[in-house]
Structure 1
């Protein structure tokens, strides 16, 4: 399967499957460590909301990653979802050829 044909992966799935589950950590426990409302992390890992820059900064600090890692996951997801939704409309836009 090519990257273009892969389904959009919500960053909450990454957070849940690759970070929380291996640590046997609940969303509530992570929220407490990050000093954010429990519902914020719960809604991210259930893929109901995205990751904001505020949350990305906190996740990066706690998991020793970068804020860009978390924001790139979110941006990639958002672009994939919008590309699927807007496919027909985007296809009707002509491509400008540079001189």
Structure 2
């Protein structure tokens, strides 16, 4: 019995951000206001169409009480994952 092996999928930074927002019973608008960013920016990060920039990692860490390294590492690891396992191969 042969099984096709597929690479593990890692959650996108946006998925983690969405969970953090939900855990606090916030909306995307709430987070955007706290960070001083447009709601569209938060929405694009959550949808995965926008990467988390260095500036955004600092604002996320301040808003959510996490380290900026958490968000920087999460984004970097996700970007490496996309290079190693392109979406069209998964």
Alignment TM-score, normalising by the size of structure 1: 0.76
CA deviation digits over 1:8-56, x for unaligned, max 9? 3210000102x11111211111000000111100111122211111110
Which has the higher relative contact order, 1 or 2, with Cα contacts under 8 A spaced 6 or more apart?
2
Distance in 2 between the 1:26 and 1:41 partners? 10
Displacement over 4 Å in runs of 4+: none
Q: How far apart are the structure 1 equivalents of 2:72 and 2:56?
A: 9
- Report 1:31-50 matches (<5 A): 31-50=32-51
Alignment-derived partner of residue 65 in structure 1:
66
Alignment of 1:1-99 (within 5 A): 5-17=7-19, 19-85=20-86
Q: Mark the structure with the bigger radius of gyration.
A: 1
Residue-by-residue CA offset, 1:58-88 (whole Å, 9 max, x unaligned): 0111111111100100001000010013xxx
Counting matched residue pairs gives 81
